[in-house]
Amino acid sequence: MSKENKVYWVEGVTEKEMKKSLTDTKFNYLRTTRARRTLVILLSAFYAFAIATDYFDGKINDIVALGACVLMLTVYLLLRTSIRQIADAPDELIDERQQQLRDNAYLHAYRIMAAVLTLIFIGTAFGLRIDFLSDEQTMGLIVGTLFLLAALPSAVIAWGEKGE
């Protein structure tokens, strides 16, 4: 592999992909404040939908759950594109302002997740039970939460930054 297209395995990007993302104008319609916030709302809605898929009967439940996951992945990829993949960029490929923006997004994303997990732990300590969820809903909750963990830094940037 040439040095011109270094792969950043931890971040999940390549140098060529990042440089293209930082300069392209093809997806500028996704980079407005309204579009970014719409993507964050859609991601949240599909997360809730992935959990609620158990309310469908039979085989359709599996199809709807898979559809919800595909929609979440699609919105996540669009969200990454709308913020020029800054949340996933290595330090050496972005400037200091973008590094600060990325680092701040991770700080807020982890604070949000810490607050949510703290509420769950406090709730379970005081007798909140989640055994009312079916196995499918629990799996939807787990898969959806994994998607949400990956997407939250991008969502924080998308929600807080003004569009281009």
Question: In terms of domains, do 75 and 18 share one?
Answer: no
pLDDT at 124: 75
Question: In terms of domains, do 20 and 36 share one?
Answer: no
Question: In terms of domains, do 138 and 111 share one?
Answer: yes
Q: What is the pLDDT of residues 20-36, one digit of tens each?
A: 888 888 999 999 999 99
Question: In terms of domains, do 48 and 118 share one?
Answer: yes
Question: In terms of domains, do 56 and 98 share one?
Answer: yes
Mean pLDDT for 85-102 is 91
Kindly indicate the confidence band of residue 51, based on its pLDDT and cuts at 50, 70 and 90: confident
Domain that holds residue 10: 1-26
**Is the residue at 11 inside a domain?**
yes
pLDDT at 158: 94
Mean pLDDT for 96-108 is 94
pLDDT at 3: 61
Question: In terms of domains, do 20 and 79 share one?
Answer: no
Question: In terms of domains, do 75 and 112 share one?
Answer: yes
CA atoms of 103 and 124, how far apart (whole Å): 31
Kindly indicate the confidence band of residue 121, based on its pLDDT and cuts at 50, 70 and 90: confident
Kindly indicate the confidence band of residue 7, based on its pLDDT and cuts at 50, 70 and 90: confident
* Gyration radius from the chain CA atoms: 18
Total Cβ atoms within 10 A of residue 80? 24
Judge contact between 87 and 18, C-beta under 8 A: no
Question: In terms of domains, do 61 and 132 share one?
Answer: yes
Mean pLDDT for 79-104 is 92
**Is the residue at 63 inside a domain?**
yes
Number of domains in the chain: 2
- pTM exceeds 0.85: no
